[in-house]
Amino acid sequence: MRRALALAAVAALLAACAALPPPQAIEDIYVLDARPAGVSAPRRDVVLAVSMPRARAGFDTAQMAYERRPHELEYYARNRWADAPARMLAPLLVQALEQSSGLRAVVPASSVAAADLRLDVELVRLVQDFATRPSRVRLTVRAQLTDVGSRRVVATREFDETESAPSEDAYGGVVAANRALERLLGRIVELCAEQALGR
């Protein structure tokens, strides 16, 4: 009787284990955290509002994109960004502009503060290209500055940065992306500082 009860308990335990969902594959999660080198720009009494960056189709996702041939996006299965790259770009832009642009203030576009200029940014591309060796990351961003009072576009630029990956994997792509982003943030800061000086 005791043996039958033990066998029944083991059978019940095995059935319960079989009903559990299979373990999920562990994901590696990465962030964009580049900081441009601080530059000293002349101080101007200009307030800049920064809109939440948008992203083109295929890049408005936390999935990490790569290419093995032109025009075909693929995504890593076990690696992803902590958030969509365009969303991670927003605080980095604000921080870079606060530190280096010479502006009186940098505020989110949703703020109630009155702004003189508005910066709209679109992530055009963030992709690791395996068609070359070593692979390289291509980061392209379109920036547009608008005079808030007149609603006139005062500057539009597309910035494109390419950086070789130190390793042929997702982490190598992350390192390259952050190096490219560091330069790109510096170029956006320069654009905003130039336009502020012209006011």
Cβ–Cβ < 8 Å for 86, 123 = yes
Determine the residue type at 45. Answer: D
Contacts of 168 by beta carbon, 8 Å cutoff, 6+ apart: 130, 133, 134, 135
Tell me the two tokens of residue 7. Answer: 């066998």
pLDDT digits (tens, 9 = 90+) for 147-195: 998 999 999 999 999 999 999 999 999 999 999 999 999 999 999 988 8
Domains of the chain, first to last: 2-197 (3.40.50.10610)
Which helix (H) or strand (E) element contains residue 14?
A: helix 2-19
- pTM for the full model? 0.82
CA angle 89, 129, 36 (to 5 degrees): 30
Tell me the two tokens of residue 13. Answer: 């335990």
pLDDT digits (tens, 9 = 90+) for 47-79: 999 999 999 999 999 999 999 999 999 999 999
Cβ–Cβ < 8 Å for 29, 80 = yes
